[in-house]
Homo-oligomer: A and B are copies of this chain.
Amino acid sequence: MPTIVVEVMPKAELLDPQGKAVAGALARLGKTEFSGVRIGKRFELTVDGEITDAVRADVEKIADEILSNSVIEDVVAITYPEAE
């Protein structure tokens, strides 16, 4: 069954405390080549049957309204499986 990937990140201008914590851990481990870390979410939606235009429209609506909070997050990518 085809799987669609929706990727959501916190808005760039927002503080990302979790990301800062990971960046701090990397620096303490001597991995100083990284200047920043940001953490978001990755959704895999498995579709029953074909990915039609209607499904694509639904996914975009769901991504904006359910999978992300448009006040603090951006949908940065929606990836459809290559047509087999």
Contact = CB atoms under 8 A, between A and B. Distances in A.
Interface string A42-67: 11111111000001001000100011
How many copies of this chain does the complex contain? 2
A25 interface: yes
A41 B49 CA distance: 26
Given A26-B62, A26-B66, A66-B22, A43 B39 contact: yes
A44 B33 contact: no
A59 B37 CA distance: 12
Contacts of A11: none
A14 to B, nearest CB: 13
A45 B49 CA distance: 36
Closest 5 CB pairs of A and B: A36-B46, A40-B42, A42-B42, A38-B44, A35-B48
21 contacts: A7-B7, A8-B42, A9-B42, A25-B66, A26-B62, A26-B66, A31-B62, A33-B47, A33-B58, A34-B45, A34-B46, A34-B47, A34-B48, A35-B47, A36-B45, A36-B46, A37-B46, A38-B46, A39-B42, A39-B43, A40-B44
